[in-house]
Structure 1
């Protein structure tokens, strides 16, 4: 019954969205600039693009409900993963690229030579076979041009696609990807609720701090890092290590898009309105928006690390994954600070070496530890291939097979299969890294591989991975 209600709700939502989208597009075509709504910079055409994304999500939801518990379910999930991931990467490149560019522009402005009184600075640049000349006004030009470009949809679509990806990968498969009973035995629904709730809590805490006098002090960075570390610890105590990292990145991404939606764009709206009406503009609006934009700039590298971290289990498989995440966050933010100083033609002898030292410390701390004498001495018996194959067939081929039987993975993850002894021998290095060293496979130890079995695989590999 619930399945039919869900399906009907999704169909109704999809049809309503289509109707509104066509109406907005039709009206937008009759107005210049896509139908600008007041002085806000939002356009009817822009709203329709946002609704198109929601309509796609609703359509995917309809397909998922229809094929659920069929052979097509896994295939659809895989393609949902591909499409949403590609959207997230594309929008993210546009957003982060714009962030990098405008912070560079702010840092590199010529503020002294041949600068008119109404300007804050200018910049000459060459790119793509052409010369460009850019000017920044202290407040606003005397007349606002009709073709004023707004940088906001990149941020909104990055967050929407990222949130959708979080559902596709972690929330739709919460029992296997999100929740790890060895960390905290909670229901999948509780895990989803905690994850979503933490994003709201993170924004409220951060925005509250930004509204205090602390934001004008260097102590703001210290307190901000402490709060971020607390969230990393919280996630590591609730979710699987891999999911904890992703949630930390999603939390930072939520802060970034919140800055755009609640602070930066409203400030820009006020600037446009004041310039259009010829009324005085509160200069603190622009300063606050610039500060939030700079905060976003410092969060970009930590977020990018989280996006790729799932491919490198040496980080999240550590005994203290939250500490590793916190140090990498500080180190990557430090690298971004050095880049910003460099663009201003300022120098600090300690920022880059200190940041690199932090990252190198992570490399050292996460390195595999040498075996104790007792453990090393235990690896004396010659391990036959038949014993290794039995372990792999019992613990691994549910997912890593040409015909997986797992309830989540309907095709072998990353194309890795262990159907034959030759496959196992060929992939022995991957087995050593993921199964023995980092212990991140099987996923959340779903098949209950024992430490003794991991030791046997280790001995076999160290003995030359022979097919005996």
Structure 2
């Protein structure tokens, strides 16, 4: 019953999280595009205090959009705000983290081969990391370093890479990636809650009171919004990375994440420039070449050969390894408490089922992704033996 409830909570919060994330990312991308696409308005609009405008066509109609230098002459009766997309994405993401990695800590969060942690110890480290990481970002942002964009970006990127490396030493490979994503998502939501929304409320207050808005509020809010824009593609990669153990299961998984994060953020820069009619296609070419180089570097190594004294295991011995390390989860009726059904629909109770799934089993064994959390204590020699038997 517990596994059944676990599956439904996982499904609900993951579904809700994706829906909210699509709404938030869509709005974020749209407003970055809008702001960068504004052009100098005609003179009669400048006289009205309009800083930039653009025309667009969509859904069978024309749209005229204008951005004021400070604020409109009179506050409109209806003003649309954009905040709940961000808040809902973070709340559902934290709920999913709690269900998947805190409730299921022994399966998904803890890797006893790295650090033997208790459930509450692992949860405490996770929460401390998220809170501490966010505090570091806020300290950097509120320091004079924000006036030096390149240095700020280099320091922030270095801090995230260091965090990825440190997490890789503590948690399971999959959980390490997820926590980097959770930190980035927390920074992004925090940018909305603690920076963008207060700046917008101050802008509305000043315009309503007939005062000239202070520019530094808007400037810092725009900087936070720009950071969120560059964070988005790396974050989306982390959200889908759990389907690709070749990335987080790599022996240098933290470095793979660092490279993919840099490549995707760099590619995003091309589009931000393009919105300003500054076409730099070399950026996409460089990003593609870097990705190809990463793919080449990540080519899986051949399985380590067995010691000369070891004989090739028989089919019966190989099946015994599968039964000992895999079948508790991958069975028609899993005996593992965390699963109500076999993960991925893969059943491994008969040798014919094992050989039919060999193409999926071998990478999972090679990367250490399976057994999940290596709770069964599968040795490297046993991995090599089973890989050899499946070839």
- Above 0.5 in TM-score? yes
Aligned to 1:208: 139
Partner of 2:45, secondary structure, is: coil
d(CA) in 1 for partners of 2:140, 2:26: 27
Aligned to 1:49: none
Residue correspondence of structure 1 range 426-437 to structure 2 within 5 A: 426-435=356-365, 437=366
Residues 162-200 of structure 1, C-alpha deviation per residue, up to 9 Å, x if partnerless? 000000000001122111121112221111111111111
Aligned length: 388
State whether structure 2 residue 232 is matched by structure 1 residue 303.
Answer: no
Aligned to 1:279: 211
State whether structure 2 residue 349 is matched by structure 1 residue 419.
Answer: yes
Aligned partner of 2:123 among 153, 174, 192? 192
Aligned to 1:10: none
CA contact 1:379–1:459 (8 Å) conserved in 2: no
d(CA) in 2 for partners of 1:441, 1:78: 20
Aligned to 1:174: 105
Aligned to 1:125: 56
User: Structure 1 pair 138/419, CA: closer, same or farther in 2 (3 Å)?
Assistant: same
d(CA) in 2 for partners of 1:273, 1:416: 58
CA contact 2:196–2:224 (8 Å) conserved in 1: yes
State whether structure 2 residue 38 is matched by structure 1 residue 109.
Answer: yes
State whether structure 2 residue 330 is matched by structure 1 residue 408.
Answer: no
Q: Tell me how far 1:453 sits from its aligned partner.
A: 2.5
User: Structure 1 pair 281/457, CA: closer, same or farther in 2 (3 Å)?
Assistant: same
d(CA) in 1 for partners of 2:340, 2:281: 52
d(CA) in 2 for partners of 1:256, 1:379: 55
Residue correspondence of structure 1 range 69-468 to structure 2 within 5 A: 72-113=1-42, 116-117=45-46, 118-217=49-148, 218-348=150-280, 350-370=282-302, 375=305, 384-435=314-365, 437-462=366-391
Residue correspondence of structure 1 range 22-41 to structure 2 within 5 A: none
TM-score computed with the length of structure 2 as normaliser: 0.94
User: Structure 1 pair 406/161, CA: closer, same or farther in 2 (3 Å)?
Assistant: same
User: Structure 1 pair 371/393, CA: closer, same or farther in 2 (3 Å)?
Assistant: closer
d(CA) in 1 for partners of 2:129, 2:77: 40
Partner of 1:116, secondary structure, is: helix
Structure 1, unmatched stretches of 5+, are 1-71, 463-468
Q: Tell me how far 1:455 sits from its aligned partner.
A: 2.1
CA contact 1:328–1:359 (8 Å) conserved in 2: yes
d(CA) in 2 for partners of 1:205, 1:84: 28
Residues 114-133 of structure 1, C-alpha deviation per residue, up to 9 Å, x if partnerless? 67211121111122222211
CA contact 1:404–1:410 (8 Å) conserved in 2: yes
TM-score computed with the length of structure 1 as normaliser: 0.79
Partner of 1:144, secondary structure, is: coil
Q: CA RMSD in A?
A: 1.9
CA contact 2:75–2:208 (8 Å) conserved in 1: yes
Structure 2, unmatched stretches of 5+, are none
Residues 246-280 of structure 1, C-alpha deviation per residue, up to 9 Å, x if partnerless? 00000000100110000100000001011111012
d(CA) in 2 for partners of 1:379, 1:98: 62
Q: Tell me how far 1:331 sits from its aligned partner.
A: 0.9
User: Structure 1 pair 371/87, CA: closer, same or farther in 2 (3 Å)?
Assistant: closer
CA contact 1:179–1:185 (8 Å) conserved in 2: yes
Aligned to 1:64: none
CA contact 2:329–2:343 (8 Å) conserved in 1: yes
Residues 405-435 of structure 1, C-alpha deviation per residue, up to 9 Å, x if partnerless? 1121222111111122221121111111212
By relative contact order (CA 8 Å, sep 6+), the higher-ranking structure is 2
CA contact 1:156–1:257 (8 Å) conserved in 2: yes
CA contact 1:152–1:265 (8 Å) conserved in 2: yes
